[in-house]
Structure 1
Amino acid sequence: MARRRGWGGSPPGDDEEAARRIIGAAVELIGRTGAEISIADVAESLGVIRQTVYRYFPSADALMTAAAIASVDGFLDRLAAHVRGLRDPAEAMTEAVVYTLTEVRRTPHLGILLSSSYSASAHTDSLTSEEAQAFGMTMIGRFDVDWAGAGYDEPALRELVEYALRTMQSFFLSPGDPPRGEDELRRYLRRWMGTAISAQAGEPR
């Protein structure tokens, strides 16, 4: 009887629907609180016991990652619109990094996927994970940049993604005191990161 009272009185039809509803609850809670949430929080919001959530997600970290991934499509659409028309690799990547660092403050789900702020000891390698790398490759694939014409083959693109992710990680972990504003950050990245990105055009493939 208790099980029927859970799930808002409408139990999921199968495991896929259950996982989807758990992720949806996590996304909603993160958006409302702007912070890390627990398995207990999600279970309570769904009216189920914690073991029900653990059946689909073995840890809070696994659930947070799933919730973050479920939230990035909208971000990628906004980012693509922001950098639309930028064909210079250095310019596009600079704007992408500035935009992402700014957007993370407004989109907790994205920060959970890209930063280690909510569990630094367990997630210092999160930006070099397969998920983060795939996210980065999807991101730059939507730019209006002729990557091949700029000297980037597949391995170089993957290294560029890693470089950009590591750059963002450094700002997540230590934004500065005081943190740079958007214009100041843009100048800094154009000078240092932009120079490195532009240098690829002259490198042998």
Structure 2
Amino acid sequence: MRTHGWGGATPASDEEARERILDAASAAIEERGATMRVADVARSLEISRQTVYNHFPGNTLVEAVATRSGLRFIERLKTHLVGVTDPIDALVESFAFTLEWLPGDKPVQLMLANDFGRASVEVTSDTARQFGHGILAGLDVDWDALGLDDAAIDDLVEYMLRMLQSFMVDPGKPPRTGAALRDYVRRWLGPVVASEIARHQR
């Protein structure tokens, strides 16, 4: 790790250096949006652009900022759903909560704008499905008692990700929010979940 720059406060480790770069990039994205450049990040930390590239090669910086933002959101989502044991309530709220978060998250939106085709396809990637499975498995819903095993949860995650992908491509005019969004999702998602639970409990 380089030992100069950093405003006179050299990071104690590569991990700290990466976190400080991500913090600076997040601030730059919030301030400048799509016009953010690696040079802005390097300047704010008093380091060279090459130092930034050493930690985030090529065009991976925005993706890394977006990934960190997404992981932090997942923790907020889990906290938001603590105590929700009804499967339909939990799934509707997790879906709506995510949709309402996405438009305001500048790092994620910038990643989508930079490479929407790849990011859109990756909504249903193995990584996305693994994250989704972890979210559902971490809810206060007793999936075992409902008869849903890991394979059934995987199928449910894929279905919800495909719905999310559709809303991301076309959120509607005007986009649904609040109670209207939740009512709409419950009307169409609820029967699917209820039917799946009934099928597994036969």
Q: Normalising TM by the smaller chain, what interval?
A: 0.7 to 0.9
Aligned partner of residue 184 in structure 2, secondary structure: helix
Question: Aligned pair in 2 of structure 1 residues 16, 85: CA closer, same or farther (>3 Å)?
Answer: closer
Question: Aligned pair in 2 of structure 1 residues 80, 17: CA closer, same or farther (>3 Å)?
Answer: closer
Gaps of at least 5 residues in structure 2 are none
Query: Counterpart of 2:63 in structure 1: which amino acid?
Result: T
Query: Cα offset for 1:94?
Result: 0.7
Query: Counterpart of 1:63 in structure 2: which amino acid?
Result: L
Equivalent position of 1:106 in the other structure: 104
* CA offset digits 1:108-159 (Å, max 9, x no partner): 345567xx34421332222123442333223223321111222221122122
Query: TM (normalized to structure 2)?
Result: 0.82
Tell me, yes or no, if structure 1 residue 122 matches structure 2 residue 108: no
Question: Aligned pair in 2 of structure 1 residues 36, 68: CA closer, same or farther (>3 Å)?
Answer: farther
Query: Counterpart of 2:121 in structure 1: which amino acid?
Result: D
Instruction: Tell me, in whole angstroms, the C-alpha distance in 1 between the residues paired with 2:109 and 2:25.
Output: 14
Equivalent position of 1:54 in the other structure: 53
CA contact (8 A) 1:151 1:201 kept: yes
Tell me, yes or no, if structure 1 residue 86 matches structure 2 residue 84: yes
Question: Aligned pair in 2 of structure 1 residues 117, 150: CA closer, same or farther (>3 Å)?
Answer: farther
Query: Cα offset for 1:93?
Result: 0.6
Identity of aligned pairs, percent?
39
Query: TM (normalized to structure 1)?
Result: 0.81
Higher share of residues assigned helix: 2
Tell me, yes or no, if structure 1 residue 152 matches structure 2 residue 151: no
Question: Aligned pair in 2 of structure 1 residues 26, 126: CA closer, same or farther (>3 Å)?
Answer: farther
Instruction: Tell me, in whole angstroms, the C-alpha distance in 1 between the residues paired with 2:127 and 2:45.
Output: 27
Query: Cα offset for 1:11?
Result: 3.1
Instruction: Tell me, in whole angstroms, the C-alpha distance in 1 between the residues paired with 2:160 and 2:125.
Output: 14
CA contact (8 A) 2:95 2:164 kept: yes
Question: Aligned pair in 2 of structure 1 residues 117, 164: CA closer, same or farther (>3 Å)?
Answer: farther
Query: Counterpart of 2:96 in structure 1: which amino acid?
Result: V
Give the length in aligned residue pairs: 200
Equivalent position of 1:22 in the other structure: 21
Aligned partner of residue 203 in structure 1, secondary structure: helix
Gaps of at least 5 residues in structure 1 are none
Query: Cα offset for 1:32?
Result: 4.0
CA contact (8 A) 1:36 1:118 kept: no
Equivalent position of 2:185 in the other structure: 189
